[in-house]
Amino acid sequence: MSKKPIIEGIDPNRWRTLFVVAVSQLMVVLDSSIVNIAIPSAKVDLGITDANQQWVITAYTLAFGSLLLLGGRIGDFMGRKKIFMIGLLGFAGASALGGIASTQALLFTSRALQGVFGALLAPAALAIISVTFTIPAERAKAFGVVGAISGGGAAIGLILGGTLTEFFSWRWCLGVNVPIALLAFVLATKFVHESKAQGNRTYDIPGVITATAGLFSLTYGFNQAATSGWTDRHTLTFLGAAVLLLIAFVVIEKRVANPLMPLRVVTERNRGGSYLGSLVVGAGLFSMFLFLGLYLQVILGYSPLKSGFAFLPFTAGIIVFAGIASQLLPKFGPKPLMIPGLIAASLGLLFLSRITPETSYVTHVLPALVVMSSGMALVFIPLTTTSLHAVSNHDTGVASAMINTSQQIGGSLGTALLNTVAATATTTYISAHAELGKKLQPFAMTHGFTVAFQFSAALLFVGAIVLFFFINIGKEAVVETEGVLVH
């Protein structure tokens, strides 16, 4: 019996491929929030000081953020399936190492290794989706699944992290990645189709060095600003170095024959606007998870597990409205979804800024979460689609990496900026309301959170303005590679 031929342009395993990528994407997204829950217990077990606890997060973000562009290019050149599978195995090994860590140094090392392999895994996953789905409606649905996971996975991580920490051990917050990664690896061997860039596949070594060092300096500078302030000597040194290195990177990319980040990827209007919008949205959304989590636990007295469940409506809203967005995108194009979506999310953050220590979750937090999730679901899927619009097969991996890089830099910027805003607002409130007595501290902290929410709402509104002026593509946003032969 002859083997059934592959229909031109359509991979028969595409939905199984989506399942594999979705599992891996969920693992990476879960990891960003699940580890936050583990930190207090890990500090006690391993004797981690308050000064060093940030490295549980920072070790990961520095490696991940600085290596994404290189990771995307390695996937383009060596094969996206191959690098995806290496990323899965490496992430599993790094997670296992963290789960059995006996010292803080070993835990920090494992988190850095997770970042390294995550930087291989994340861009390869998005690139695989982009080259696998060639039918516009199906591509929109595939990005809808990935968008729902990206938007809602963090809240699931809070619930899972709270459950594992409360009933088992903080170590399982890292160990849980191992079976997930191994399952995805086994399925990937059978169902994921290999693809790689055609033509010149030489590496741009000067570009690699300047981009990696520049992104490292930028991420570290923002992290330093969040903990030590914007005028700290180390903050200024690293941010200054980042500016110089990234300028050098752009100069190099203009001159070399096969650049790490071809400027054609970011100078195309729709893609460039998408990356800029992604950065602003990443910075603006950060406050919701950080400060609302603090409000629920510190002010309202929720346990970590109860706090995780309190975010579930946001996850549910993302999942429901992501499905709607994936249906609407091929019919209306990205702009009519993204602009109202960002405005709705901005309004949701403004609703959230009405909280006080005496307001309830049901009346003030829940409605804001529903509004925000419905808005952001209309943003995530179109934003991913436009950021990969009309990109050549040669550049798919590095274009995918730019999405993750812009989100990562945006998140780091949001951490630094909004921490400063909240701290300043809290201090000012304390100075002006000494008459509150015992009530002063919770009211002052909550005031800091609400001011941060207002700044975040403004950032999302700026994101809407950016996308309004940059995005000029219509329904053809999801028509990229229809009819391409699957080899």
Q: What is the DSSP string of 347-391?
A: HHHHHHTT--TTS-IIIIIHHHHHHHHHHHHHHHHHHHHHHTTT-
> Mean per-residue pLDDT for 264-276?
88
pLDDT band at residue 476 using 50, 70 and 90 as cut-offs: low
Work out the percent of the chain whose per-residue pLDDT is above 90.
23
> Mean per-residue pLDDT for 209-214?
88
Residue pLDDT, tens place only, 376-401: 888 888 888 888 777 777 777 778 78
Q: What is the pLDDT of residue 151?
A: 67
Token duo for residue 187: 């399925």
> Mean per-residue pLDDT for 456-470?
92
Distance CA 409, CA 222 (A): 9
Helices (H) and strands (E) in the chain, counts: 17, 0
Residue pLDDT, tens place only, 136-152: 777 777 877 877 777 66
For 205-224, what is the HEC assignment? HHHHHHHHHHHHHHHHHHHH
What is the length of the chain?
A: 487
Residue carrying structure tokens 């909550």? 446
**Best mean pLDDT range from 205-219, 247-261, 338-352:** 338-352
Q: Rounded to whole angstroms, what are the CA distances from 473 to 10, 50, 131, 382, 399? A: 24, 49, 20, 11, 18
**Residue 363: burial class (beta carbons within 10 Å; 0-12, 13-18, 19+):** exposed
Q: For residue 1, how many other CB atoms are within 10 A of its CB?
A: 3
pLDDT over 60 (residue 482): no
Q: For residue 222, how many other CB atoms are within 10 A of its CB?
A: 26
Q: For residue 105, how many other CB atoms are within 10 A of its CB?
A: 12
Q: Do residues 319 and 148 touch, judged by C-beta distance below 8 A? A: yes
> Mean per-residue pLDDT for 50-58?
73
Residue pLDDT, tens place only, 11-30: 677 888 889 988 888 888 88
Q: What is the pLDDT of residue 42?
A: 82
Distance CA 24, CA 261 (A): 25
pLDDT over 70 (residue 431): yes
> Mean per-residue pLDDT for 416-430?
86
pLDDT over 70 (residue 212): yes
Residue pLDDT, tens place only, 148-191: 777 667 777 778 877 887 778 888 888 888 999 999 999 999 88
Give backbone dihedrals phi and psi of 484, rounded to 5 degrees, phi first. Answer: -75, 135
Q: Do residues 199 and 394 touch, judged by C-beta distance below 8 A? A: yes
pLDDT band at residue 339 using 50, 70 and 90 as cut-offs: very high
Does domain 10-194 fall into CATH 1.20.1250.20?
A: yes
Q: What is the pLDDT of residue 6?
A: 42
pLDDT band at residue 86 using 50, 70 and 90 as cut-offs: very high
Q: Do residues 187 and 412 touch, judged by C-beta distance below 8 A? A: no
> Mean per-residue pLDDT for 203-213?
85
Distance CA 471, CA 386 (A): 8
Distance CA 317, CA 151 (A): 10
Distance CA 10, CA 137 (A): 13
Q: What is the pLDDT of residue 481?
A: 38
Candidate from 117-121, 319-323, 466-470 with smallest mean pLDDT: 319-323
pLDDT band at residue 483 using 50, 70 and 90 as cut-offs: very low
Q: Which CATH superfamily is domain 267-481 in?
A: MFS general substrate transporter like domains (1.20.1250.20)
